[in-house]
Each structure stands twice: as structure tokens, then as C-alpha cells.
Amino acid sequence: MEITLQNLTKIFQSKREDEVVAVDNLDIVIPSGKLYGLLGPSGCGKSTTLFMISGLLKPTSGKIYFGNEDVTPVPPEDRGIGLVFQNYALYPHMTVKQNIMFPLENIKMDKKEGLKKAQEIADLVGIGHLMNRKPAQLSGGQQQRVAIARALVKSPRVLLLDEPLSNLDARLRLQTREEIRRIQRETGITTIFVTHDQEEAMSISDEIVVLDEGVTQQVGKPQYVYDKPNNLFVAKFLGTPPINIFDGHIEDGKIMIGDAYIGKTDAEDQEVTIGIRPEGFKIVERSSFQVEVEFVETIGRDTTLIIRHPNVEVQESFEDPEDEEIPEEEQSAFAQEVAEELGEEADDTKMEGIDIPQQSVQQAKTFRAIVDADYGVEPGDTVKFTVKPHKMHIFNKETGELV
């Protein structure tokens, strides 16, 4: 079932009479049988979009088509969708079997046939042996599969998943996302899922839609979007560790960071923002881009160099607020405390020797370069870099659009 979103807009009217545009003029076509990921930071309108597709939310304007059928006025119960909620919303008082049977009983399916179908679906998602358990007796991953089974059992036209992996631990997440991919392939149901985790979206989606503040930023195959970001937002949002952002300029066709030459371009002379993927640096013998390594993180195969550079633009974190993170205010308060302890004359050089927590390191003007571990770089070494041209993206300083 092909899904078409046409000028889809959702405006929430808040109590203080100001409007919040959650989704702004969304135009997306999702081809039949594909797995699409809606990706964006929290509050970007991705879940709102999903709930509009499900029918639980009414769009302010715009239309939703399933195939050629305009389903905009159709209530959720008649849309033929399967929806997996973020926290699964399994009925706690029913067994797994009853949970999966519930949608079938609602459409008055014959009990025998229903039981057979429920068992089939349960086997497909790998919970066939847990049919008589209650949700509370299941692990997070198993609950998640029950939720998928319940959504799939009535053979929906579209399967919608709202942050399906956010409640799972890291290992289960990996396992379950492969599982979702497999189930989607086996059933061939057009699937849309919402996530704020770019790695998750990139690893299982056929195509991803990157959203920010209700506006589509880019649509495409994950690798393509990663390699050719449309704008600074997309470039920043995709990739772990995130892309490094530098203040730079173009001079006579040369791309410069400060005094260092890092590449050629056809664009006119201007101030620009330069994004370089961490894996885009190459250690060479001769280059004007010479830096001193501050920290080295070794992760087996690769080594991450953390390097202080005056032209680095400090980035805000995109992490979801649900992930326990110290808010920025508290971070700076902490930094202040550290500074006060050191005495007022404490300057940068004095700070270096102290065990500064990870967050403040990220807040500092540093960038990350991932290089082969064979180089054996040590903290304090001076290295020279060239930049791989296809790992570098140049953006207009004001608009953030690609130059």
C-alpha cells in the first residue's frame, strides 16, 4: 500500500493562545512494501506525523492517501492500520494470546481461525511459546514482539511503529531492530517507524525522512543522506560520532580553516561553515592543517583523536531529553564550580591536567578524527591532516544550505 502525505500540516493550539506548528506542509510518498524511518530530534513532529497517519490525530490541513483512497476523514478503526506504541500499550490483564486475539475478536473473526492466525503470527515474531503469559511476565523485547504481533495479526495495510526500540537496552535494541527488518521483509507490509536515534533509522530503513521543526529536511536512502546531506542540520544529525563543524572561509577557490588549506571548490569567496566527518581525516607527511592531539580514545580497530582547535563550532546535543543527560545549564554550573575551585585566575592551561568530565570535553572547542590505530598517535603528538573531499560538506553560514 503506497502512502501519500499531501501538504500535511498539524497546528496545536496551546492554552496561552499561541500556535505550535508541529508538522508543516509535509509532502512525502512512501512506496508500497518499504520500510521508512521518520527521523528527527524530539519535538520535530515525527510522532505527530505518525499519529496523523494512524488517524488518532486529525490533521489541521492536508491529505493522507493509502493507495488512491483518501483516508483523511476515515477514523483509525477503519483505516486498517497496525500501530505499535512506544511503550507497547499491551493490555496488562490479558495473556499474550488474548492480547493478540483482541483485534481479531473485534472484527468478529471465527474463534478457531483466530487462534490459528494468532499462533502463526506469534511464531513469526518468535513468541509462540509464551502465549499464556501475562505482559508483566515478559521481558521488554518479548513485550515489544507481542505488540508487533498484535499490530500484524489483522493483516493491516500499513504498520506504524512509534519509537519501537526506545524502551530496550542496547543489546536488545540491536537484536530487535534486525527482527523488525526481518518481519517487515517477510510480511511485505508498508512500514513507517519513528525514531530519534539516527543509527537505528539508518540501519534498518529502506529510506529515511529527516524532519526538523515539522519541516522535511531530506528524504532518501540512509547512505545517500549521510553522504550527501542537503543542509547543515542533516549533516549534524546523522552520524556517530557526529560530524565536526568548523568556521571557515573560501578564498580563491580554496577552502580554508583559519590559515590551513583543506580543499578546493568552485564556489565564490565567502565565509562558510565546514562539516567534516570524523572518518574524513587522513594523517599525512605534509599539510598546512597541523594540530596537536589532546586525548586519544582507542576502540580496537580505530583510534579517535580528540583535538582542540580554535575554529571548531561547539555543537548542542541532539539527544532525546528522555535519555538521562545533564541539562546544559547544570553543565555550565558545574564548569563554574570547577573554575571557582581553581581560583579566579584559573586559565585554560591549568584546566588541562584535571579530570574533566566527558560533557565538558565535548563542550570545549575540540573535534574528533577517527584514524587507523596503526599510526600509534599519543596525546601531545603533532599530526598533519588532509581531508577526504567526499567526507567534507560546505554550508552557507547564514542559511545552513549546501554551498
Partner 1 sequence: MLEEQQNIKSWFYLAPALVLLAIFIFYPIFNAIFLVFVKDFNYLQGTHDGFTLTENFRYVLRDPNFARAMLNTMLITFVSVPLSVIIALLISVWLNAIPVKKIQGFFQTVFFLPYVTNAIAIGMAFAFLFNQYYGLINWFLGLLGISPINWVGMGATWGNAMFSLLVYITWLGLAFKIMVFLSGLQGIDKQYYEAARVDSASRSRVFRRITVPLLSPMIMYITVTSFIGAFKAYTEVIGMFGERLGPAGDDRSMITVVALVYDALDRSGVPGALSEAAAAALILFAVTLVFTFVNLQVSKKRVHY
Residues of span 102-161 touching partner 1 by CB under 8 A: 102-103, 105-107, 150-151, 154
Smaller CB separation from partner 1, 99 or 304:
99
Smaller CB separation from partner 1, 79 or 309:
79
Residues of span 305-334 touching partner 1 by CB under 8 A: none
Cell numbers linked to 273 = 561553515
Dmax (CA) for the chain in angstroms is: 80
Q: Which of 69, 77, 337, 372 binds partner 1 (CB under 8 A)?
A: 77
Cell numbers linked to 125 = 515474531
Q: How far is the CB of 134 from partner 1 (least distance, A)?
A: 9
Dist CA 73 CA 49 (whole Å): 15
Q: How far is the CB of 158 from partner 1 (least distance, A)?
A: 11
Should residue 91 be labelled a site residue for partner 1 when binding is judged by CB under 8 A? yes
Dist CA 15 CA 233 (whole Å): 30
Residue 49 CB burial class (10 angstroms; 0-12, 13-18, ≥19): buried
Q: How many residues bind partner 1 (CB under 8 A)?
A: 25
Smaller CB separation from partner 1, 88 or 395:
88
Residue 397's φ and ψ, nearest 5 degrees, are -65, -35
Residue 36's φ and ψ, nearest 5 degrees, are -110, 140
Q: How far is the CB of 337 from partner 1 (least distance, A)?
A: 38
Smaller CB separation from partner 1, 82 or 242:
82
Q: How far is the CB of 95 from partner 1 (least distance, A)?
A: 11
Dist CA 235 CA 230 (whole Å): 8
**Single-letter amino acid code for the residue at 323:** D
Strand runs labelled E in 89-221: 158-162, 190-195, 207-212, 215-220
Q: How far is the CB of 137 from partner 1 (least distance, A)?
A: 13
Helix or strand holding residue 100 (H, E): helix 96-106
Q: How far is the CB of 60 from partner 1 (least distance, A)?
A: 18
Dist CA 196 CA 257 (whole Å): 31
Q: Which of 43, 76, 126, 241 binds partner 1 (CB under 8 A)?
A: 76
**Quick check: 9 and 23 in contact, CB under 8 A?**
yes
Should residue 87 be labelled a site residue for partner 1 when binding is judged by CB under 8 A? yes
Q: How far is the CB of 193 from partner 1 (least distance, A)?
A: 15
Should residue 82 be labelled a site residue for partner 1 when binding is judged by CB under 8 A? yes
Should residue 13 be labelled a site residue for partner 1 when binding is judged by CB under 8 A? no
Helix or strand holding residue 11 (H, E): strand 3-13
**Interface positions with partner 1 (CB under 8 A):** 54-56, 75-78, 81-83, 85, 87, 89, 91-94, 102-103, 105-107, 150-151, 154
